[in-house]
Amino acid sequence: VTCTMMETDGTSLGSMRRRRERRLHPHEEEKVMEMMVTRIQLSESNLQGSIPNEISGFMHLQELEVSKNDLTGRLPSGLYNLTNLQKLYLDDNTLRGSISEDFGNMNALEDVFLFGNELGGPLPKSMGN
């Protein structure tokens, strides 16, 4: 990814001119991509392993669809930081553990599918919000 950096030499947009080009380091490229992603659709993709806590880096994510895979482990705490998430499809995996009270942080959620997992414990009160 190449970003062209622009600076103004006055107060109006018309005076903007190209100043320099700067190559992003791989870590910076990753962060830029995380900021732009709004949808992850990887259902039935033979995914294995756990959902990484770094999912929280996708702060503009609106849809996370990873149904019908072989995802294991607990729901990562970073998942609950996705405050723009509207659709969460984690059904038909092998996720375990309980659902945190922090689930209520995801106040934009409209659709949630968690069936077909091994989640247990009481539903957090925040899920009703």
pLDDT score, position 127: 76
Phi, psi for residue 63 in degrees, rounded to 5: -135, 125
pLDDT score, position 22: 52
Closest by Cα among 74, 21, 24 to 52:
74
pLDDT score, position 76: 96
Please give the residue that has the higher pLDDT: either 124 or 26.
124
Closest by Cα among 86, 58, 75, 61 to 114:
75
User: What average pLDDT score do residues 96-103 get?
Assistant: 94
User: What average pLDDT score do residues 48-73 get?
Assistant: 94
Closest by Cα among 104, 106, 110, 111 to 126:
104
User: What average pLDDT score do residues 86-104 get?
Assistant: 96
Strands 63-65, 39-41: pairing is parallel
Is 31 in contact with 57 (CB distance < 8 Å)? Answer: yes
Please give the residue that has the higher pLDDT: either 30 or 123.
123
Q: Is 111 helix (H, G, I), strand (E, B) or coil?
A: strand
Least confident of 33-37, 69-73, 96-100: 33-37
- Within the chain, all domains assigned CATH 3.80.10.10 are found at 37-128
Strands 2-8, 63-65: pairing is unpaired
pLDDT score, position 1: 35
Query: Per-residue pLDDT for 120 more than 70?
Result: yes
Given CATH 3.30.530.20, say whether it is the number of domain 37-128.
no
For the chain, what is the mean pLDDT? 81
Query: Per-residue pLDDT for 62 more than 50?
Result: yes
Q: Of all residues in the chain, what percent carry a pLDDT higher than 90?
A: 60
Residue carrying the six token digits 């001119």:
17
CA-derived radius of gyration, the chain: 19
Kind and range of the H or E run holding 121: none
